[in-house]
Amino acid sequence: MSLPIFALRTCLRCQSVYPRVTSASTSTVTRSIPSSNRYLNTEVDTSSQSDKKINTWFLNQPSRPLPLASSSKRVESSSQISPSSEDTQSIPSIPISTPSILLPLHNFLTSTTSEASDVLHRHTVQVYDTTSLSQYLDERGQGDLVKGEEGSGGWYDWVITVQVKGRGRGVVSRGDGVLRRWLLKNPLHPSIQASPHEYPKTPRIPPDSDWSIVPLNLGPDAEFRACVNLLSEEGASRWKLDELWKKAQ
């Protein structure tokens, strides 16, 4: 038995390729194989050029060009390396009379490199002197006032408001935890001992909260009270604290 060379032909009806065994004839030359393979022969096709033409439709198909990146994808890649819109938004100015003890906290809330930038919108940080607001509310018979030897006043003399990033459950709690941990590790007054723990424990805030108040520890001899109000987007729209304090300024 011999091993013939297969020729390829194309079926015109089904466009499928099937092998055809060339018959031994005078147009073929047979070359013998060593005795160890005496049952195998190879045949070289020497037929006419017309018979040797093989339809290679499967090889002549034009190659498909590689898809080019769309313009939208190129825009996305360029936007990834460009600064975010929030980084270019200006930070609201603070009152000239803002106590110096609050400045490190304000820097933390508005910095682009601090941990606060991951959970808070730095361009929403507002600082208010609420002394005039207390008088405004007292005249209208509104607000929660504290009775003291020097008269009545608001719970806090200085208030900072800031909006947290994200929407839904837990966004205020997350921002509250970041702020409280920073305050515990970076006390505002030198008489307050910093927490030695990397992640100090903080109060639990209900996940559905849209507003959280963080009182500031200003030391034993502080002459005023201050706090930070953290609000979600929904909370800022609901409570409108900024509008309230702006009315008194």
Distance in angstroms (rounded) separating the CA atoms of residues 12 and 208? 72
Is 135 inside any structural domain?
yes
pTM over 0.95: no
Res. 229: pLDDT tops 60: yes
**In this structure, are 16 and 131 located in the same domain?**
no
Q: Give the alpha-carbon dihedral of 242, 186, 117, 102, to 10 degrees.
A: 30
Is 10 inside any structural domain?
yes
Is 174 inside any structural domain?
yes
Q: Which of 156, 160, 107, 111 is closest to 134 using CA atoms?
A: 156
Question: Looking at the 3D structure of the chain, how many domains does it have?
Answer: 2
**In this structure, are 104 and 196 located in the same domain?**
yes
Evaluated on CA atoms 221, 244, 122, 207, the torsion sign reads: positive
**In this structure, are 15 and 108 located in the same domain?**
no
**Residue found by looking up tokens 């060379």 in the block:** 5
- The string of pLDDT tens digits covering residues 7-53 is 444 444 444 444 444 444 444 444 444 444 444 444 444 444 544 44
Long-range CB contact pairs, 8-14, < 8 A, 24+: 8/54, 8/55, 9/54, 9/55, 10/55, 10/57
**In this structure, are 93 and 47 located in the same domain?**
no
Q: Identify which has the larger pLDDT, 224 or 25.
A: 224
**In this structure, are 97 and 29 located in the same domain?**
no
**In this structure, are 143 and 205 located in the same domain?**
yes
Supply angle C-alpha 111, 243, 219, rounded to 5. Answer: 50
Is 214 inside any structural domain?
yes
- The string of pLDDT tens digits covering residues 76-105 is 333 343 455 666 789 999 999 999 999 999
- Domain residues for 231? 89-247
CB 226 within 8 A of CB 102: yes
